[in-house]
Amino acid sequence: MSEQTIFELLHTIDQVTQKMLVKWRKTSNIDLGISHILALHELRTHGESRPSDLAKHLNFTPASLTHLSTKLTKNKLIERRQDEHDRRTTYWSITDRGIELLNQAQLDGQMLRKELFSHLSEEEQTTLLSIYKKLNTVL
């Protein structure tokens, strides 16, 4: 495959991803960005975490995670807890309200993807799935 074709493929994938995120933000009544959703998902999946561990796992800078936490805490989507033995260490956990919001965001995303992929034939969907599984294995 030529470099131009690879560039075009990567550029198109980025465009589709960006357009999906924009459309999700427009169709969802959730006033959070994808970074907020990713942080909530990580907390629900792995439980209480230190912000530094969360930043490392999500490949976010600690400063950006601190910025995210302001909105998440203000909206009561996460709770902060200080370590009993080391007051400098803080832990975050997702609240019930955060879980509800995350569930809604995931439902909104599923509806959007279902609509998008309905434009592909079953054979195209199967091929795309196979390609992404192969790429996921490589990563």
Q: Do 56 and 100 meet the contact criterion of CB atoms below 8 Å apart?
A: no
Average pLDDT (83-106) is 93
**Quick one: residue 76, left, alpha or beta (phi over 0 = left, psi -120 to 50 = alpha)?**
left
pLDDT, tens digit, for every residue of 97-137?
A: 999 999 999 999 999 999 999 999 999 999 999 999 999 89
User: What own/partner pairs with CB < 8 Å and gap ≥ 24 does 102-107 have?
Assistant: 102/37, 102/40, 102/41, 102/44, 104/28, 104/30, 105/28, 105/30, 105/32, 105/37, 105/40
For residue 65, pLDDT over 90 is answered with no
**Bigger pLDDT: 93 vs 88:** 93
**What is the biggest distance separating any 2 CA atoms in the chain, rounded to whole angstroms?**
58
End-to-end CA separation in angstroms for the chain: 19
Mean pLDDT, to the nearest integer, of 5-29? 90
Q: Which pLDDT value is given to residue 83?
A: 83
Residue range 50-68: average pLDDT? 90
Which backbone phi and psi does 87 adopt, to 5 degrees? -65, -15
Could you count the other beta carbons within 10 Å of the beta carbon of residue 52? 12
Looking at the predicted structure, is the pLDDT value of residue 4 above 90?
no
Record the pTM: 0.81
% pLDDT > 70, the chain = 100
Domain boundaries, the chain: 32-138
pLDDT, mean over the chain: 92
CATH number for the domain formed by residue range(s) 32-138: 1.10.10.10
Mean of pLDDT values over 34-63: 93
Q: Please state the length of the chain.
A: 139
Strands (E), the chain: 78-82, 90-94
